[in-house]
Amino acid sequence: MYSNGTEIQHNDYALVVSFVRGVDSQNHSEISSEVDYRLQRRRVLRDIELGTIDRSEVCDPHPELLRVARKIAPKTSEMCPLCPQNELRLVAYVFGPRLGPSGKCVISDEEMQRIAKRNGHFVSYEIEVCAACGWNHLRRSYPIN
């Protein structure tokens, strides 16, 4: 299911990102404008409704992603599409020069702005996570500078 087995053993954050559908940490440098993944999100939710994919296949966050979501990620004002009594959290991973091959988890706007001021091309991947049921989905990716 996950192709990135070798990298996973060496780096937890690579693991986190490779566990999120749609994030390809190898190609982040090619992203020059915002990519919105709402269409894929709707498709996944429709497939769950139709029963063509099982909830357990999509509510499968890596423990580290879940930990970040539970402990430090900011809440959004949006509710989880699968358990509407729980608010979604937003977790961002930024890729770029000197952040390592597996990116960096960035929670605060201040830190994001500091990275954006650096030289080089930086791309952020925003992942929505429900800390209750484990729903997680790549929301958008965009260059931050």
Considering the rule CB under 5 A, would residue 130 count as an interface residue with Zn ion? yes
Closest to 125 (Cα-Cα) out of 144, 109, 108: 144
Residues ≥6 apart with Cβ < 8 Å to 16: 62, 64, 65, 68, 93, 105
Stretch that binds Zn ion, among 3-11, 83-91, 106-114, 116-124 (CB under 5 A): 83-91
Considering the rule CB under 5 A, would residue 90 count as an interface residue with Zn ion? no
Considering the rule CB under 5 A, would residue 133 count as an interface residue with Zn ion? yes
Out of 14, 20, 80, 106, which residue is the one contacting Zn ion (CB under 5 A)? 80
Tokens at residue 10, please? 């060496």
Stretch that binds Zn ion, among 63-71, 72-80, 105-113, 115-123 (CB under 5 A): 72-80
Judged by CB, which is closer to Zn ion: 130, or 144?
130
Whether 20 contacts 127, CB under 8 Å: yes
Least distance to Zn ion, CB of residue 59, Å: 7
- Which residue do the tokens 């020059």 mark? 32
